[in-house]
Amino acid sequence: MSFYSLPLKGTNEKIPVERCYLSIALYSENSFKPKDGKKRLTKEEIKSKNERIFEQTETLKRLDSGYMNLYNRTIEADNILSTSFPKLDKDFDKYIVYRIEPTLSREETQSYYRDSKYLLSEFKVIKKITNQKEMIKQVHDDRILTQFLEKVFESYSYSNEEYVDLIYNYFRDVKTEYPDFEISLSDLVITSDYTHAPTERFSSNNIYQVTKDNIEKLLCDNLISYTKTYDWYQSDVIVTLINCGMSHVAFDYLNHLTEDSYVSIIADKNIDIALRLHSTDEYVKKIIAKLNIKLSGVTLKIEKYLEYGETSTSEKRFENIGEIKSYLIKEFDVPFEKLQSNDISTFGFSNEEDTSYTFTIE
């Protein structure tokens, strides 16, 4: 919890509910290490340690009273939907989380690339959160449980396999406490904004295997559903899953949709591109058959970079992506390994003669 010396005027600007939280890291013996490789703290370091522990103890007492007035100082509200915020049961001996209600606050606008931050000078403490179930209940009451679970998945679903059970426990606890609560595959795979782009864990051509395992485990144990009411962007989910090498999940997802939704899926240009790019995949073939569509082949566009910034372009038609890969290996010496990515719709390549190309597959 960082303090500033910026006095607030008598305003109370509206703060998004996800920013109405404070997270305080509790001091422990490990918080105070001797400097310069020494084995023991110096007298000055011991004094500083005691002062900081005393200050934090007094701060916690004031927070526990249910009201905080910092007068001419401010603190920054925490965002419970940031990737670093979700707390696990094992962390609650290191942190205390407070749900607050600002009574004197203001927004401080950041740069174009950074979110605004919200500074508090006076606020009420609504709830002290000391474990995972209390956290789940609070974000549920604040109606941001879906977004919170998205961040839990994003924060802990990467290369560290130790987090698999931690994610599972969060989703299991939600299912236990709120059995009618709906969270679906699309909530974790695509963003909820107007772009409907792949979320961070599904935006890479080569996503972590543990991310794939987590999704399948959550689906298998019915902790998330394939679809839910008002899942409108079904084609974006299918395209993302195919491009991430999860065509078998995309096929299962398609099987959970009604045939009425096939019309809009087939009309999506991105579906057509994804199916043609991966037309040799076993489950993509099943998707093509289920949608009852006929693909018109694949076009390879070749842009060759010449001297003085000039380029030449050409294109060639193929029956499927397999033919394109064979052609690129034979005619341009593109390494086989480079063509193993799940998404090779556009990529650059330079051969041993330093001739540069950009290949686009449509």
At 171-195, the pLDDT tens digits run 999 999 999 999 999 999 999 888 8
Looking at residue 217, its pLDDT comes to 93
pLDDT at position 251 is 97
Task: From 23, 154, 38, select the one nearest 87 (Cα to Cα).
Answer: 23
What pLDDT is attached to residue 186?
A: 95
Q: What is the pLDDT of residue 320?
A: 80
Confidence at residue 252, expressed as pLDDT on a 0 to 100 scale: 97
pLDDT at position 110 is 63
Looking at residue 65, its pLDDT comes to 94
Note the pLDDT of residue 205. 65
**DSSP track, 105-168:** EEEE---TTS--EEEEEEEEEEEEE-SHHHHHHHHHHTT-HHHHHHHHHHHH-SS-GGGHHHHH
Question: How far is it, in rounded angstroms, from Cα 16 to Cα 19?
Answer: 5
Task: Tell me which residue of 205, 249, 247, 207 sits closest to 341, measured CA to CA.
Answer: 205
Contact 179, 172 (CB under 8 A): no
Contacts of residue 74, defined as CB under 8 A and 6 or more positions apart, other chains included, come to 3, 4, 6, 7, 8, 119, 120, 121
CA distance 298 to 283: 18
Given this model, what pLDDT does residue 8 score? 47
The predicted-structure confidence for 330-348, as pLDDT tens digits, reads as follows: 888 888 877 876 667 788 8
So where are the chain's domains?
3-137, 145-291, 298-361
Report helix, strand and coil shares of the chain as percent, to nearest 5: 45, 20, 35
For the chain, residues with pLDDT lower than 70 are 1-13, 86-89, 110-114, 159, 204-206, 341-343
d(CA 168, CA 218): 7
Structure confidence at residue 142 (pLDDT): 96
DSSP conformation class of 36? T
Count other C-beta atoms under 10 Å from residue 287's C-beta.
24
Phi then psi for residue 87, to 5 deg, are -100, 140
